């Protein structure tokens, strides 16, 4: 009997210094989140986007491989991004990098976790300081 592996990678990123208008546009965020998911080879099953009053957006992209999400706080210039993928064929870091390229934060703090292989393992990601151009994670 073959052992089933639930191996997954989980990338969580806090992005600061993002313009209000980028963080408060549900339709644009939805479009870019779909493109981010597709850029890492994930299969999009469904998408939900919610704009809040007076500001803020949540977008959830359900993937065959798991999920990609963003929660925004435009008044603080802050976005919380999260991508979890199961298996070895889809790299969640590519989706997060795609969103960083779009959002152009002045700072981004990432954690990469290895999940489904016993205890959750933190794979240590550096803080990203950005001035004028994106620094790859």
Q: Is residue 5 among the annotated active site residues?
A: no
Nearest Cα to Cα of residue 51 among 78, 24, 88? 24
Q: Which of 10, 40, 83, 86 is catalytic?
A: 86
- Does 86 participate in catalysis according to the annotation? yes
User: What's the token pair of residue 3?
Assistant: 């052992």
Q: Kindly name the residue from 5, 71, 88, 106 that is annotated as catalytic.
A: 71
Q: Which of 66, 69, 88, 136 is catalytic?
A: 66
Question: Is 71 considered catalytic here?
Answer: yes
Decide if 33 contacts 104 (C-beta within 8 A): no
The answer to whether the CB of 113 falls within 8 A of the CB of 10 is yes
Residue numbers annotated as active site: 66, 71, 86
């Amino acid at each position: 009997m073959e052992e089933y592996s639930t191996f997954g990678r989980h990338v969580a990123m806090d992005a600061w210094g993002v313009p209000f208008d980028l963080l408060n546009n549900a339709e644009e965020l939805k479009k870019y989140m779909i493109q981010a998911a597709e850029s890492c080879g994930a299969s999009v099953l469904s998408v939900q986007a919610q704009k809040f009053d007076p500001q803020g957006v949540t977008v959830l992209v359900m993937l065959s491989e798991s999920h990609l999400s963003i929660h925004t706080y435009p008044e603080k210039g802050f976005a919380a991004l999260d991508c979890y993928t199961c298996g070895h064929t889809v790299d969640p870091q590519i989706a997060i990098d795609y969103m960083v390229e779009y959002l152009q934060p002045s700072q981004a703090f990432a954690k990469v976790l290895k999940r489904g292989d016993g205890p959750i393992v933190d794979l240590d990601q550096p803080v990203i300081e950005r001035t004028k151009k994106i620094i790859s994670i």
